[in-house]
Amino acid sequence: MSYIKGFLLNMQFFTSIPIPLALPMDKVHLERAVRTFPLLGLLQGAVYSALLYMVVEWTSFSILTAAFAVWLAGIILTGGIHIDGWMDASDAYFSFRDKDKRLEIMSDPRTGAFGVLSVIVLLSSRFFFIYEVVAMMSGLSYLLIACIPVFSRMVMGVLLTVVKGAKEEGLGQLFQQSTTKYTLYAYPVYLFIPLAGFWAANQAASLFFMAIAALAILLYLKNKIPYWFGGMTGDVLGASVEGTELLLWMTLWLLHYFVMG
């Protein structure tokens, strides 16, 4: 039951899906929420793939419409919570100030020019990659699209667990304080199950490349976040999710050109 409540906590915090329940916010249930981050990603990925399938296979709408539907669903389903972190972290990073000043900038509710420009680049680039993938997609593409949020939430969970917090308060710190050395033990299982399925279907190469890309992003952010911001914050975590998903969409785009094509 604690895992179910932890998963529902994830839906309350990280999606726009209404969960009209008073869920416990104690350490046990927050830790279960971190353990089930990849399951939240699987739910989101399933929504994106199912929506894309319905538009492509059940309607006569254009490829552009199908790509736009997936692009928009990613914004609506998350409520833009991670995009907000992307904008705040971008304002801080591109200020080229010291760590303390960057944390101060992220705490400012106002959005600067760098935040606006960065979100334009983020969303336009994502739409480009989605459109190109949809234009070249096969049946395997639906499964790989569903895996993108899974990998990004795994990156989020690992960063939250292994990178020290930069502040004493905030949503990120609340989740981080609940984690233990056992929290990430389930993550290899989340990765192994789809990899085994893809392997059985002789399609493991594409998923393997995406997993390698996610791992490379994780290792890079793990080393750079303390240097850039002095540690983890909720905004930095949200920015990491958005950046990871963008790069995974790019990876999927490249796979369609050079591996799956």
User: Is 261's pLDDT higher than 70?
Assistant: no
Q: Tell me what pLDDT residue 139 has.
A: 84
Give me the phi and psi of 165, to 5 degrees please: -75, 145
Mean pLDDT across the chain: 90
What amino acid is encoded at 182 in this protein?
Answer: Y
What is the pLDDT, as a whole number, of residue 45? 94
How far, CA to CA in Å, does 107 sit from each of 35, 163, 206?
Answer: 28, 19, 39
Residue 98 main-chain phi, psi, to 5 deg: -75, 175
Burial of 146 (0-12, 13-18, 19+ CB in 10 A): buried
Q: What is the pLDDT of residue 23?
A: 86
Q: Which residues contact 127 (CB under 8 A, 6 or more apart)?
A: 67, 68, 71
Question: Which tens digits make up the pLDDT trace of 78-127?
Answer: 999 999 999 999 999 998 888 889 999 998 888 889 999 999 999 999 99
DSSP per residue, 111-134 = --HHHHHHHHHHHHHHHHHHHHHH
Percent of the chain with pLDDT over 90: 63
Q: What is the pLDDT of residues 187-244, one digit of tens each?
A: 988 887 777 667 755 677 888 899 999 999 999 999 999 999 999 998 999 999 999 9
Calculate what percentage of the chain has a pLDDT beyond 70.
96
Specify the pLDDT at position 123: 97
**Per the structure block, which two tokens stand in for 67?**
């790509």
> Token match 């850039």: residue?
228
* Average pLDDT score over residue span 149-160: 95
Report the SS3 class of residue 144: helix
pLDDT in tens, 26-44: 888 899 999 999 999 999 9
* Whole-number Cα distances in Å, 223 to 43, 167, 169, 216, 247: 29, 18, 22, 11, 18
Q: Which residue has the higher pLDDT, 161 or 197?
A: 161
Residue in the block written with tokens 């006569």: 60
Q: Which long-range contacts (CB under 8 A, 24 or more apart) does 99-104 make?
A: 99/166, 99/228, 99/229, 99/230, 100/230, 102/228, 102/229, 102/230, 103/166, 103/167, 103/229, 103/230, 103/233
pLDDT value, residue 171: 67
Q: Quick one: pLDDT at residue 177?
A: 82
Mind listing the pLDDT tens digit for each residue in 81-91?
A: 999 999 999 99
Higher-confidence residue of 173 and 236: namely 236
Band of the pLDDT at 170, cuts 50, 70, 90? low
CA distance 44 to 119: 21
Inter-residue contact 145 to 248 (CB < 8 Å): no
